[in-house]
Amino acid sequence: MNEKQCEICGAEIVGAAQRVVIDGSALEVCRNCARFGKPEDKWSPVPKKMVPVERAFTPVRRPKPRDHFKDLMELIPDFGRRIREARESLGLTPEELAARIKEKAALLKKIEREEISPEDDVRKKLERELKIKLTDQVSDERMRASGTGKGLTLGDIASIRRK
Ligand SMILES: [Zn+2]
Q: Ligand 1: distance of its center to the CA of 35 in Å?
A: 10
Domain ranges of the chain: 4-43, 73-146
Q: Ligand 1: distance of its center to the CA of 74 in Å?
A: 82
pLDDT in tens, 60-97: 565 555 544 445 678 999 999 999 999 999 999 999 99
φ and ψ at 55, to 5 degrees?
A: -60, -30
> What's 117's DSSP letter?
P
**Max CA separation in the chain (angstroms):** 112
pLDDT in tens, 5-60: 999 899 998 888 888 988 888 899 998 888 888 887 654 555 555 555 555 555 55
| CATH hierarchy code of domain 73-146 | 1.10.260.40
pLDDT at 126: 97
pLDDT at 32: 87
pLDDT at 54: 52
Q: Ligand 1: distance of its center to the CA of 146 in Å?
A: 81
Q: Ligand 1: distance of its center to the CA of 40 in Å?
A: 16
Q: Ligand 1: distance of its center to the CA of 70 in Å?
A: 72
Q: Ligand 1: distance of its center to the CA of 30 in Å?
A: 4
Q: Ligand 1: distance of its center to the CA of 6 in Å?
A: 5
Q: Residue 132 in contact with residue 101, Cβ under 8 Å?
A: no
Q: How far apart are CA 68 and CA 79, in angstroms?
A: 23
